[in-house]
Amino acid sequence: MKLNILIICFFCSFNSLANSWIYEQKKDGFNDNSEHSAYIKGKGGTYALAQCDSNSVFNIQFFINEYLSRKAVNVKWRIDNGETNTSAWNVSTEGTTVFSRSDVKNQLGRQMRSGSNILLEVTDYRGTNHRVKFSLRGSSKAISSIYKACDISMEAIKFDGVGDVVSNYIDRMGPKSTVCFSKELALNNYKISEFSNFKSEKLYQQAQIFLDKKMKLCPSGNYLIGRRCNDPKEFFFDLYVVASKKDVAIKRECGSLKLEL
């Protein structure tokens, strides 16, 4: 999986004395695109990293410095005295780093910007819990720079008549994914005429119209439809399937971006 490609050497360049979040911008030597990173070191060689990579894909990852698993692991996290959250997160190929789930990473980053510290507890393949704590000092400015680079709104966007499934789905998109999603809606005969990375109200509204139409199929005895009824955002993959058949360029330009979501 694309998010599992972690360059551990990046951690080696961290300032070992850093007790505040640091923001860095570097150019990708292969394509000259910029890579933006915000990070801080914790105890025991652990690190927290928020990144907008050279493809404008945003992710948050935590280097635990212990072998965890080859598969997804359970992660519990809490910012200051806020709500405790738990979900399964993907693990790097080395098995030592966890990646925030795509459906929570944007909101997690927003919460980190305004917090004082974040506490994580990661359960490894043996059932052993690894607890790490990171200061969020300086994270507001550093993570805001990452959001700006990846064109992510500092606040979750909400429109009247648009439900949480659509709002959260579009909120997770990077600039390239937003363009592709616009094209996919248009090729499925929805009223989208501009293909930019701007997340317009019309984009949200047309996506909601599509989802409402699909949800009329629920409940369903069909296994695939039934599965999507339980997780409605999966219906959006149907847009890509139809669009890629109508325009072969969609598969080339947008196929790999499905990993972002």
Please give the residue range of the domain that contains residue 92.
2-149
Listed residues 121, 149, 177: the one ending a domain = 149
Residue 159 lies in a domain: no
The answer on 177 and 145 residing in a single domain is no
The answer on 42 and 16 residing in a single domain is yes
The answer on 96 and 51 residing in a single domain is yes
Please name the amino acid found at residue 87. Answer: S
Cis link prior to 232 (omega < 30° from 0)? Answer: no
Specify the CATH number for the domain of residue 81: 2.60.40.1880
The answer on 135 and 24 residing in a single domain is yes
Closest CA to 148 of 38, 14, 7: 38
The answer on 48 and 21 residing in a single domain is yes
Strands in 47-52's sheet, in edge-to-edge order, are: 22-27, 34-41, 47-52, 58-63, 97-99, 85-91, 73-79, 117-123, 129-135
SS3 per-residue string spanning 110-149: HHHHCCCEEEEEEECCCCCEEEEEEECCCHHHHHHHHHHH
pTM: 0.74
Q: How many domains does the chain have?
A: 2
pLDDT tens for the chain, 261 residues: list them. Answer: 444 444 444 544 554 445 899 999 998 788 788 999 999 999 999 999 999 988 788 999 999 999 999 999 999 999 999 999 999 999 999 999 999 988 889 999 999 999 999 999 999 999 999 999 999 999 999 999 999 998 888 888 899 999 999 999 999 887 888 999 999 999 999 999 999 989 999 999 999 999 999 999 999 889 999 999 999 999 999 999 999 999 999 999 988 766 455
Please name the amino acid found at residue 100. Answer: S
Residue 173 lies in a domain: yes
Residue 157 lies in a domain: no
The answer on 224 and 130 residing in a single domain is no
Residue bearing tokens 């360029």 = 249
Residue 184 lies in a domain: yes
